[in-house]
Amino acid sequence: MPFSDYKTALVTGASSGIGAAVVERFRREGLEVHAIARSREPLERLADRTGCIAHVIDVADREQLASLAETVQFDILVNNAGVDRPKKFLEADPEDIDLLVDVNTRAVLHLCRLIVPGMVARDRGHVINISSIAGVYNFGGNSTYHATKAAVSMLSRQLRLDAFGHRVRVTEICPGRVATDIFAHVHGDTPEIRERFIEGFELPEAADIAEAIAFAVAAPVSMNVGHMEITPTLQVLGGLQTARPAARDGQPSKAS
């Protein structure tokens, strides 16, 4: 079902990064794009630049999401909004857990609940869920984030079962490291953080992820791109560590 068969799109987390790039890409196709974010100023600048329709909404606000879903019939839903609070789970704060579950998982569930039934009824629609390699692979210090993104991954598969028999397509986009400002949001915008995560690396840009999403949306109606794992060419996933038992003083030993 190419772009010409779709008229409207909803993109969350649209004020910057991948979300903003998707809005720009969809607008180039002539779609009416509704952009959701909490940050008013960058969202309004995006609206001025692209002609999208801006909605200053927290995706954790279920009532506002429901009101929007009742007003507009969306052909494309892009669940992009996400947050992270890196911390070992043994040291996790309850507020951080609630925030990540609310934004990364609960909002995705509710938006799908509000919008996908209409897609099924019209026999037309495409859901794009932005998950993460963190939903598939393990790395330290992000346990709650891993759990919430794994839920998005499973929901993406399950939606296809629930919408089976109708022309509702579901695509999970699973990015690795991408050159966006998410690292500044999570860790702080400092030279050290930019050097640690961005500078000197060959990384996909937000616009590259938007092009991958456009490829999935523009595919023929007979074709569902179910899962796209997108990583830098010079990034590999996985690894193996083995730890010796803790020392007698209770301090953990080094792993190798």
Active site residues: 145
Distance CA 112, CA 105 (A): 11
**Which residues have CB under 8 Å from 80's CB, separation 6+?**
11, 12, 13, 14, 18, 19, 22, 128, 130
**Which residues have CB under 8 Å from 73's CB, separation 6+?**
8, 118, 122
Q: How far is CA 168 from the centre of its chain?
A: 19
Q: What pairs with residue 53 in β-bridges?
A: 34
Distance CA 203, CA 181 (A): 13
Distance CA 47, CA 36 (A): 11
Write down how long the chain is.
256
**Which residues have CB under 8 Å from 26's CB, separation 6+?**
9, 11, 33, 76, 214
